[in-house]
């Protein structure tokens, strides 16, 4: 069986959630100085959240703004399969922190990650982008 290098991830967005994603995406493209895939933005956002301590990750999922971002607009974004490892790690850290008692839904992790990216410093976003490139190159070997 062939190993797939990428897969599609499901986002459930409101108009505000769509705007947040596009704002984060445009910011990343400007910082890198290139046209990037939407998957790059999702990967960088999740990686930034993954770097937070477990309690901070859990608090990101409790942010009241999160409820305004989720909605009926379903979008599928393609990126590296490595993203699923980061998502599972985030879910495990959140459960370990004990702030949220059930495993969070993946689309909520994505929204929390996008909110976190919005507030992140440019240097951290660029660092996560370069980590993403490195991880993808290593996984292709």
- Tens digit of each residue's pLDDT (9 = 90 or more) over 50-101: 999 888 998 899 999 999 999 999 999 999 889 999 999 999 988 888 777 7
pLDDT band at 133; cut points 50, 70, 90 = very high
User: What predicted TM-score, i.e. pTM, was given to this entire model?
Assistant: 0.92
Distances from the Cα of 106 to the Cα of 10, 12, 59, 61, 139, angstroms = 8, 10, 15, 11, 22
Work out the average pLDDT over 123-128: 98
Nearest-angstrom CA–CA distance, 62 and 50: 16
Q: Name the residue ranges covered by the structural domains of the chain.
A: 6-140
Nearest-angstrom CA–CA distance, 91 and 85: 10
- Closest listed residue to residue 108, CA positions, set 47, 40, 58: 58
pLDDT band at 4; cut points 50, 70, 90 = low
Nearest-angstrom CA–CA distance, 13 and 17: 5
Q: What pairs with residue 87 in β-bridges? A: none
55: left (phi over 0), alpha (psi -120 to 50) or beta: alpha
Q: Token pair for residue 1?
A: 């069986």
- The answer to whether 6 and 80 have CB atoms below 8 angstroms apart is yes
Calculate what percentage of the chain has a pLDDT beyond 90. Answer: 74
Q: Is 70 exceeded by the pLDDT of residue 2?
A: no
Give residue for tokens 């190159």.
137
Work out the average pLDDT over 5-10: 86
């Amino acid at each position: 069986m062939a190993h797939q290098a990428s897969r599609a991830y499901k986002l459930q967005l409101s108009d505000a959630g769509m705007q947040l994603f596009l704002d984060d995406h445009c910011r990343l493209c400007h910082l890198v100085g290139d046209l990037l895939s939407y998957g790059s933005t999702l990967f960088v956002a999740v990686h930034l959240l993954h770097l937070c301590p477990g309690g901070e990750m859990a608090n990101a999922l409790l942010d009241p703004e999160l409820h305004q971002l989720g909605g009926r607009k379903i979008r599928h974004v393609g990126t590296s399969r490595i993203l699923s490892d980061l998502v599972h790690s985030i879910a495990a850290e959140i459960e370990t922190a004990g702030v949220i008692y059930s495993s969070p839904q993946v689309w909520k992790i994505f929204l929390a990650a996008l909110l976190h990216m919005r507030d992140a410093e440019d240097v951290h976003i660029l660092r996560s982008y370069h980590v993403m490139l490195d991880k993808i190159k290593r996984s292709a070997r």
